[in-house]
Amino acid sequence: MDNSWHARFGSEHYVYGEEPNQFVKEQSYRLEKGSKIAAFAEGEGRNAVYLARQGHEVTAYDYAENGLNKTEALAERYDVKVSTVLKDLIHDSVPVEEFDAAIMVFGHFRKNDQKNIFGKLVSTVKPGGIILLEVYSEDQVHYGTGGPKTVEMLYDPSDVLEWIKGHKNLHFFYGEQERVEGELHTGTGHVIQVIIKNMKQNEQ
């Protein structure tokens, strides 16, 4: 896996903007006050910093060091603390049952890695904790408003529904949403949204 993201995040400019993802912003009310939250594939930190500003204890995971550096800079600007961890989420292990909640916004992974990543996202959350996800669906290839250009890097809603079996489904959405997130995610896109409560004892 090449680290093109490290290069993409190399400028001072925040390519996905500095404001949080709208779905995270709208749904953050579900998180208990002072929650310990893991942010997977967090990029430049816009969601992690937003949640830290709401009083949560946030750890941002990404494998692009430039992205984590920008996360720390954004957190400093808002006078909050976000822990950053350089991690290859495909190959590296993650803490088990350490967090009250976990989020992933537009985590771009190949199909043969997507279930593994989702499993890790769930495993890092304590039983009863919340997992919040927004990703581009396969239909996004027809929109041209951001995200991967191939179906191989996008998500099938039937796969996602299979992954969340056994958990309490609080929210599932498959369809169009307007997103204005910097220069790379702007306009009408086609997304999958999931919010579940972790109802399984983790086996890792």
* CA separation for the pair 186, 23 (Å, rounded): 14
Alpha-carbon Rg for the chain, nearest whole angstrom, is 16
Single-letter code of the amino acid located at 175: G
Residue 6: what pLDDT? 56
pTM of the model: 0.93
Among 179, 101, 93, CA closest to 140: 179
pLDDT (tens, 9 = 90+) of the chain, 204 residues, equals 446 765 666 667 787 889 999 999 999 999 999 999 999 999 999 999 999 999 999 999 999 999 999 999 999 999 999 999 999 999 999 999 999 999 999 999 999 999 999 999 999 999 999 999 999 999 999 999 999 999 999 999 999 999 999 999 999 999 999 999 988 788 999 999 999 999 975 443
In CATH terms, the fold of domain 4-197 is Rossmann fold (3.40.50)
Residue 139 is encoded by which pair of tokens? 């239909």
* CA separation for the pair 76, 28 (Å, rounded): 21
Domain limits of the chain?
4-197
What strands lie across the sheet with 57-62, from one edge to the other? 82-86, 57-62, 36-40, 99-105, 125-136, 185-197, 168-181
Residue 148 · residue 166 · CB < 8 Å: no
